[in-house]
Structure 1
């Protein structure tokens, strides 16, 4: 048997292996929590578990891009010069959503502080912990590979919805650690999936406008960072997130800047040229 034989369904294989790697790591996280290990140990293992998609992609890389260099692939994802207009647009969009949610929570909150972090030290620790887990750990696999790969057969919009769904389902074990049951759990899952798929669409649009993986990493970072800053009811927070991110996604779909989501095909063709030689 030829060990270099290419995978027939690389994205499906990637999703399957990502979940296969994540489940035992997630169980380890739970065990560490139950056994009362120090917080830094819990945070470290939690960050490692978030890298399951990167581990899966690295394992499958030679089966997907035979004869290519994994390091070269990763470097290529960051070579395109960042566009100031895209960075500003992403920053303003997410900051605006954050301020809207903050305003809503502030008006109904009965707690002493509307923020979850009470010192600069805690804020910096939370920022870097957030960066090192989801954004850096997930985006190479989900956006850098899977989104790009699906765009060879589907429009970026359709690809982003597919990836958003499976990216959301990858979080399934986490849903049952929220403490919600019954109708509250159903609401949480619904709002979570709406948020995730909407964010996936936004990521696809801006990533295709500026083909640098830092763009989806930034979006992912501030999606997680902002929601974790607000001291409010989790179900309310995820509901507000779902509402505002789906509105933003719909507006981007309607505007379809430079035809990046559907229509004229202008996205990520350089990846096909460089990795199918």
Structure 2
């Protein structure tokens, strides 16, 4: 009976459906690559897979919020005036993480970190591609819905941890498509989960300081794009980026501006 009640929970349904839709698209991508489907087809499938949490939320929306309109719900997520102090603080902290990563990698490893894109045009296209493949497709479901719902029952810190873990494991199929095996795969997964849970804490704090979904979208974009633009040994880059986010998460938990994380 407990399991049945749990499965009737709208938030649980959202998580399960997000996982299922992502897995379906991921499987379709794999099949497409095996049969030699055009690259344009696999690219579209990759983009759609990133929107699986949005698709899940849209499908379940009438049952989650009966009588409400989806467009009104989305408008509310962007209704609060954007606080430039919060926005620039988020950008500054994440840019410092990138700078710190480049400095430490250059001085402590054999990895030479360079830009993946040399032309502004390519960099801009990569920026838009990254935005569509990640933040725009994921934040409505994971932050706009799941985080806000969990915060109705739990403290922001606990909600952030729960979303971080659930959102992290949603990426599971990507781990096994990374090309890593053995110890390297374990290291990759560990760094990924440390980073994504830490990022979830970081973004929850700043999102709660300014309840506008632009904050998590921008934060997520910088988080992802930093890994795209830095060219080098991925595991070395991940080691520093993710541990920096862990350090930042620890600091914001300790400092906890305006007691946001424990309200």
Kindly indicate whether residue 178 of structure 2 is the aligned counterpart of residue 178 of structure 1. Answer: yes
Structure 2 CA distance for aligned equivalents of residues 198 and 166 of structure 1: 13
Taking structure 1 as the reference length, the TM-score comes to 0.88
Residue 60 (structure 1) aligns with:
60
Kindly indicate whether residue 254 of structure 2 is the aligned counterpart of residue 254 of structure 1. Answer: yes
Residue 216 (structure 1) aligns with:
216
Q: How does 1:71-220 map to 2 (within 5 A)?
A: 71-107=71-107, 108-109=109-110, 114-220=114-220
Q: Alpha carbons of 1:235 and 1:61: their partners in 2 closer, same or farther (altered >3 Å)?
A: same
Structure 2 CA distance for aligned equivalents of residues 75 and 95 of structure 1: 29
Structure richer in helix, relative to its length: 2
Q: Deviations over 1:75-129 (max 9, x none)?
A: 1101111001101100000000001111223333465x71111222211111000
Query: Aligned pair count?
Result: 256
Matched-pair contact (CA < 8 Å) for 1:14–1:56? yes
Shift of 1:66: 1.1
Shift of 1:164: 0.3
Matched-pair contact (CA < 8 Å) for 1:105–1:232? no
Q: Pairwise CA RMSD of aligned residues?
A: 1.6
Structure 1 CA distance for aligned equivalents of residues 118 and 66 of structure 2: 50
Q: How does 1:215-234 map to 2 (within 5 A)?
A: 215-234=215-234
SS in 2 for 1:29: helix
Taking structure 2 as the reference length, the TM-score comes to 0.93
Q: Deviations over 1:17-59 (max 9, x none)?
A: 0011111101122233444455444333211110000000011
Shift of 1:241: 1.5
SS in 1 for 2:173: helix
Shift of 1:148: 0.4
SS in 2 for 1:261: helix
Matched-pair contact (CA < 8 Å) for 1:14–1:53? yes
